[in-house]
Structure 1
C-alpha cells in the first residue's frame, strides 16, 4: 500500500499543477510567443534567417492557436467571418510577402488581449460557488419518531425543522416555537440582529444566534430567497454590455469589407488599370497588412491596462476595461448602507446615567455582564467600556439570556437587567431617558436600558455610524454631477437618519435583495448608467445588475467576486477618483482611435495610388501603433 501511494503521488501533484495553470494557458502561450518574437529578431540580426523564420513561425502557432481555434469555431457556428479570422489572414499575408516579424507581432498583441479576456471570464464564475457555500446542506427534521438529519433538497413545504443557536437556517419559513436573535446580514445587510418570535418569517442562509427555534418550512429549497440571490447574480452576469454587443455587430461587417476589398484588389487593378499580376497581389497583401486592426487594438488595450495599473496603485482594482469605460458615463450611484456608508458595526453614541449611580462603576459592571455574550450590541458595549477604563472585568455570579428581551444577571450582590425598555419596565425606562429616547431613536439608534435591583440605572444608545469619509465622498460625487442614492434593508427611521447624515440625494429603506435589484433597475431607467456600491452577500445581485458594481475591499468574498471594481481600503472618495481616471482614459482612447483610423485611411489611399511600398506601409502601420501606445502610457502617471 505504501509503495502504491508513492507511485500515485506524482500523478496527483501533476494533475493539481495542470488544474492550477489551465485558466492561464492562453496568457502563458502569449508570453512564449513574445519571447519567440524577440528570439527571431535577434537571430535575424545575426544573419541566421532560417532560424529566425522558424522562431517567428513558432510564435505564430503558439500565440495564435487559441484565437485561431476560437475564430474558426465561431465562423463555423455563426456562419460568418470575424475579427479573429481577419487577424489570422493579416498575419499570414504579411508572412507571404516576407514580413514574418510584423505578422508575429500582430498575433502576439491579439493573443494577449484574448488571454486577458479569458482570465476575466473565469474569475467571474467564482461568486456563485462562494454563495453556495453559505447554504446549509442538511437540516434537522422533526418527525413523529424524533429528530432526523436530512438533505435540505429533501425538505417539503410544511415540514418542521429545528435550528439550534449558532446554526444557519436551512430554509425559508415561519417560527412555530421559540424566539431568538437572527443575524440577517446575509440577506438584508442589516448589522444589528433582529429579534424574532412566533409566526415571524426567517430566511435560508441567515444565522440563528441565541435560542433554539422550530421552523415550519414555507418554500422549497429551489424557491428560497437565498436561491433567488444566486439566480439574480447568474442572470445579471449573462447579460452582455452595450459595448460588447456593438463590437459583435461591427466585426462581421468590418471583416467582410476588408476581405472583399483585398480579394478585388488581387484582380480588378490587373484588368482595369493594367497592373501586372505580381503588382496586384503585392498591393493586396499591403492592404491586408495596413488594414488590419493592429493599431486600433493598440489604441484601446495599452490605454486600458495603463489606467487599470494607475487605479491599482491607488487602491482601485478594476476587473476589466469595459467597467472602467462605463464609469465615465455614470449618472447615478447607489450605495448600500451597512458596511459601505456606515462602518458596519454598532457603536455606543450616548450614555445616559440615572441619579445616584457612578458612571464608571455602572459601565464596568454592565460591560462585565455583556462580556459573556457574542451579540454585536454586547460587543459594542464592551468595546466602549474598554475605551474608558483598563480594569479587568469580573465574572457575574449568575446570568440568564432572555431571547428577544435582554440579559438578567447577578453581579457583586446586585440583580441586573439589561435590554429593551419593556424588559426593565416602560415607566422605569422613561424615568431614565425621558425625551432623549425619542430623539435618539429618531436618529437611528438602538436603545439598551439598565436596571439595578429593580431601579432604573441608565441607558446606552448604539448605532452603526456613518464612515468619516462618506460625506466627503458624496460631496465629491456631487461635484462630478453624479446623483447619489442609498439602498438599505434597515427601517425607515434608521434609513432617514443615515441618509440625512451622509448627504445622499435619495434613499430607499426596508429593501430585500430582490427589491434592491428592482430599485436599481428603476434607477437605470431614470439615469441610464448607474453604479452600485456594496460589501455584503445581499448586495451581490445588485452589484451584478448595475452597469458598474463597486465593492468595498473589506466586504464578503461574494461581493468582491461579483463586483466590477474593488476599493481596497474602503475609501469611498476613491470612487470620484476612479470616475476622473475613467474619463481621462476615454479621452485618450478617442484620440488613439481617431489617429489610428486616419493613419490607416492614409495608408490605404496611398497604396491604391501606388505611392506606398511595403516597407513604408509597415513603418506607417507599426509607427502609428507605437505612437498610440506611447500616448496611452501617459495614463500611468497619477
Structure 2
C-alpha cells in the first residue's frame, strides 16, 4: 500500500450528534485527496485513507465547530461545558430574547423593537442551523436541521417571532445536551487514556533521562520508583515490588512482581524500586490495545441501535407527512383557521426531530462498555453486550477455568516426612505434572530431597517411575502399577478417586505412602456458580478428564451437569447441539477451546492479564481471570438492555403525547421542543445509571 493510501487515525472534539457524524463523514469524503473516510462518533475518532491536512478536516467540520488532533496526542485540554465556544452564540441569543420579552411587555407585542430583537436572536442563535438546513432542503434531505429550519422560518412568516426565537434557543440547548451526553459517555475512554503516564524515566547508553513514551524503544531500561505508574509494558530485570494492576485487569488486590515477571503500562508501583526492560512500543501496550478495542466496540452498532436507526429513517418522513396533513386538512375541509393550523403543523415538524430517540441506544452502549473496561471486562461490541443478556446456558472448560490449572497434593497417608523425601527425590527425575505437585509439596514442607541420591532411575511409561535409594528399589506411580507388581491396593484409593483426585502410591516391598493430587477449584467458583444458578442459568462443564473426576468436581463446584472424556471436536459438537434450543456461552482459555468459543453465541476468554490471544479470540475477555466478572457481565448486559428499552419507550411515548396535543390544538412550538429536550435529558441521566453497575 502506498503512503498516500495509508489509513490514518485522528481524534476529534465537539461532534454533536450521529446525524452530524454522517454529514461530517460525507464532507471528509468530498475532500480532493481523500480516498475514503469513516467517523466513529462514539469514540470521537475519524479514519482517513488518503491525504488531508488538519486545517482541511476542521474546515469540513466547521458546521459543528469540530476540532481535530493527532491520535497520538492522548491528553487534551478539558474545556468546561459552559465555556465551550459553540455555546456563546446561544447565551447571546438568550439574553436578546429576554430583553425582547421585557420590551414586548412594556412597549407592546406589535412594537418594532421586540420584533427586531427576536429577529437578531434567531439569526445569531440559528445561523449554523439555517446553513445546514438550507443545504439539506436543496438536496431534499429531511433531517432534524431541515425540520427545524422550516419550523422557524414558518413561525416567522406567520408572525410568531417570539416562538421562533424561543425555538432556536431551545434547539441549541437540545444540541448541547446531546453533545454533553456523548461526552459523559466517553469519559470511560478518557479515564483509560489517562491511566498510563505520558513520560518515563529511561536509562539508555548509561544515561538516565525523562522521555516521552512515543520516543521509548523496545529494549530500553525503564526505572519505576515507588508510588509511580508504569509507563510501558515490560519485564522486570531488577528489584521486586507489589503492583496494583486494577486499571488493566480490574483486580483490587496488588500483585507481587519479581525478576522476569511482566508489568503493564498503567499499573501502579506501590513499594520497591523496579528496573523494567521495555518489550512493546507505546501503541502496542496492553492498555493501548484495550483502549482501541473499547473504542471499536463502542462504535459497533447493537441490534437495538440498528432498529432505532432504521425506525428513524421512516419516522421523520412520516412526521413530515403528518405535519402537512395537519396544516391542510382542517383549513380546507373543516373551516379551520389557516394561521392556527399552520402553527400546529410547524409544531408537529419539531416533534419530528428524533434527538432523544437517536441517542437512546448509543449513550447506554458506550457507557456500559466503558464501565465494563474499568472493571477488567473487555466487551468487543454492542451486539455481544446485548447477546449476554439472553444467555441461559454457560459451558465451562475445566483446567485453568474452573480450576487453578496447577495440580497440588491434597492428601498423604500416612504423614511420613522420611518417605515423602524419598518420593520427592525419585520424582525429581520425572517431567510429569503430578511429579511437580509432589516436589512443590516437599518444598513447602522444607524437606531437603535434593540431598538424596537416586540410582538406576527408570520411567515406566504411563504408570510411574522406579529407582534405587540406599540399595533398595522404590516405585512411585499409579495404583495399576502396584497391582501389576502384586501389591494389595488400599480401599481408601477408591474413596479418594471418587472425590475426583488422582492417586499415586510410593513404596518398595510394601506401600509406604498414598498420595492424592488434585487440580484445586478456583477460590470463587462455588459462589459464582451459585449466583449463576440463581439467575436461572444452567452451568455445564466440558472436560477431557475421566467421568469419575469430572463428576466429583462438578458436585464440589455445584454445576448443573458434566460432560467428560471429551476431545476438542466433541466440545464443539456439544455447543452446536445446545445452541439448537438455548442461548449458550462458552468460557475457556481462548486457545485450546477456540473452536467451541467460536461456535457459542458468546465466547468468554480468561484474559490471563491481557494476553494477545485473549484479546483477539473471544467476544468478551475477563482480563484478571476472575470468574466473579461473569455474573457481573450478565447483570450489566441485562441492565443495559433494560435501560435501552426504557429510553426507546420513553422517547416515543413523549413524542406521542406531544402529537396528541394537536387534536385539541394545544401543541405549541416550545412545548414540542421542550418535549425533545426533556426526553434527551432523561435518556442521558437514565443511561448514566450504568456507570454505577459494579462487580458486587
Query: Would you say the 8 A contact 1:550–1:563 is kept in 2?
Result: yes
Preserved contact between residue 97 and residue 285 of structure 1 (Cα < 8 Å): yes
Residue of structure 1 equivalent to 2:401: 340
Q: Who is 1:538 aligned against?
A: 592
**Do the aligned partners of 1:553 and 1:568 also contact (CA within 8 Å) in 2?**
yes
Aligned residue for 2:517, secondary structure, equals strand
Higher share in helix = 1
Please give the root-mean-square deviation of Cα atoms over the aligned residues, in Å: 4.8
Find out whether 1:441 has 2:502 as its counterpart. no
Distance across 2 between alignment mates of 1:253 and 1:581 = 26
Q: How far apart, in 2, do the equivalents of 1:422 and 1:28 lie?
A: 65
Q: How far apart are the structure 1 equivalents of 2:359 and 2:301?
A: 21
CA distance in 1, matches of 2:371, 2:557: 28
**8 Å contact 1:535–1:560 — kept in the other structure?**
no
* Aligned match of 2:517: 462
1:236-635 → structure 2 map (5 Å cutoff):
244=303, 252=310, 255-263=313-321, 265-266=323-324, 269-270=327-328, 273=331, 287-312=348-373, 314-353=375-414, 359-389=416-446, 391=448, 393-394=450-451, 396=453, 399-401=457-459, 403-410=461-468, 415-423=473-481, 426-428=484-486, 430-431=487-488, 433-452=489-508, 456-526=511-581, 528-554=582-608, 557-606=612-661, 611-635=666-690
CA contact (8 A) 2:129 2:145 kept: no
Distance (whole Å) between structure 2 residues aligned to residue 517 and residue 112 of structure 1? 42
- Is 1:28 the counterpart of 2:86? The answer is no
Q: Cα distance, 1:487 vs. partner? A: 1.8
Q: Is the 8 A contact 1:520 1:546 kept in 2?
A: yes
Q: 1:249 to 1:572 in 2, by over 3 A?
A: closer
Query: Which digits, 9 at most, give the CA deviation of each residue in 1:532-560, with x for residues without a partner?
Result: 33234233333333334333343875455
Change (3 A) 1:470 1:323: same
Which has the higher relative contact order, 1 or 2, with Cα contacts under 8 A spaced 6 or more apart? 1
TM-score between the two structures when normalised by the length of structure 2: 0.56
What is the alpha-carbon distance in structure 1 between the residues aligned to residue 184 and residue 691 of structure 2?
19
Cα distance in 2 for partners of 1:407, 1:309 equals 53
Q: Deviations over 1:266-287 (max 9, x none)?
A: 4773476359999999876754
Deviates more, 1:28-37 or 1:593-602: 28-37
Q: How has the CA–CA distance of structure 1 residues 28 and 589 changed in structure 2, closer, same or farther, with 3 Å as cutoff?
A: closer
Deviations 1:475-495 (A, max 9, x none): 222322222222222222221
Structure 1 alignment gaps of length 5 or more: 1-10, 62-67, 73-84, 117-240
Shift of 1:625: 0.8
Q: 1:394 to 1:282 in 2, by over 3 A?
A: farther
Deviation string, structure 1 residues 112-134 (Cα, Å, up to 9, x no partner)? 99999xxxxxxxxxxxxxxxxxx
* Change in 2 beyond 3 A, CA 1:341/1:631: same
Following superposition, the deviation at residue 501 of structure 1 comes to: 1.8
TM-score w.r.t. structure 1 length?
0.60
> Is the CA contact 2:500–2:548 (under 8 Å) kept in the aligned structure 1?
yes
Cα distance in 2 for partners of 1:484, 1:541 equals 19
Q: Provide closer, same or farther for how the CA distance between residues 242 and 440 of structure 1 changes in structure 2, counting only shifts above 3 A.
A: farther
The alpha carbon displacement at 1:584 in A equals 3.8
Distance across 2 between alignment mates of 1:299 and 1:25: 17
- Residues 350 and 669 in structure 2, CA contact (< 8 A), matched pair in contact too: no
CA deviation digits over 1:413-471, x for unaligned, max 9? 6544433445566245x44x42122333333332333345x664434222222233222
Q: Report if aligned partners of 2:540, 2:559 keep a CA contact under 8 Å in 1.
A: yes
Say if 1:19 and 1:447 are closer, same or farther in 2 by CA, change over 3 A. farther
* Gap change, CA 1:280 and 1:501, over 3 Å in 2: same
Deviation at 1:371, TM superposition (A): 4.0
Judging changes above 3 Å, is the alpha-carbon distance between structure 1 residues 17 and 279 closer, same or farther for their aligned structure 2 residues?
A: same
Segment drifting more, 46-55 vs 267-276: 46-55
**Post-superposition shift, 1:588?**
3.6
| Alpha-carbon distance change, 450 to 363 in structure 1, aligned in 2, over 3 angstroms | same
Partner of 1:149: none
What is the SS of the residue equivalent to 2:592? helix
CA distance in structure 2 between the aligned counterparts of 1:496 and 1:278, rounded to whole angstroms: 80
Q: How far did 1:379 drift?
A: 2.0
SS of the equivalent of 1:463 reads strand
Which residue number corresponds to residue 250 of structure 2? none
SS in 2 for 1:538: coil
Structure 2: 5+ residue stretches without partners? 12-36, 47-57, 68-80, 94-119, 153-167, 188-299
8 A Cα contact 1:365 1:394, kept in partner = no
Q: Is 2:344–2:662's contact at 8 Å kept on the other side of the alignment?
A: yes
2:86 equivalent to 1:40: yes
Matches within 5 A, 1:215-230: none
Is contact 1:552–1:560 with CA below 8 Å preserved after alignment?
no
Q: Number of aligned residue pairs: give it.
A: 471
**Which stretch shows the higher mean deviation, 342-351 or 601-610?**
601-610
Whether contact under 8 Å (1:474, 1:502) holds in the other structure is yes
